[in-house]
Amino acid sequence: MRTSLKIGTIMGIPIKLHITFLLILPVFALVFATNPAPFGFADVPSLGMNYALSLLTTILLFACILLHELGHSYFAKKYGVTIKDITLLLFGGVSSMEEIPRDPSQEFKMALAGPLVSFIIGFALLAMNSIIDSSISGYSDGLIYRMFLILGSINIVLGAFNLLPAFPMDGGRLLRAWYAKRMSYIKATHYAAYFGKMFAFIMGIFGLLANPWLLLIAFFVYIGASEEDKSTTVTVLLERYTVKDIMSDKVVSVSDDISVEELSKFMFENKHMGYPVMKGNSLKGIVTFTDIRNILPHERFAVLVSDVMTRDIISVSSKDVASEAFKVMTLNNIGRVLVIDDGELVGILSRTDLMRTLMLLNE
Provide the annotated active-site residues: 69
Q: Are 203 and 214 in contact (CB under 8 A)?
A: yes
145 Cβ neighbours under 8 A, 6+ residues apart: 129, 132, 133, 139
Within 8 A by CB and 6+ apart from 216, the residues are 207
Say which residues have a Cβ less than 8 Å from residue 109's Cβ, sequence separation at least 6.
Answer: 75
Strands (E), 11-134: 13-18, 83-89, 92-97
CB 107 within 8 A of CB 176: yes
Question: Are the C-beta atoms of residues 110 and 75 closer than 8 Å to each other?
Answer: yes
Nearest to 315 by CA among 296, 291, 302, 334: 334
Query: What stretch of H or E contains 296?
Result: none
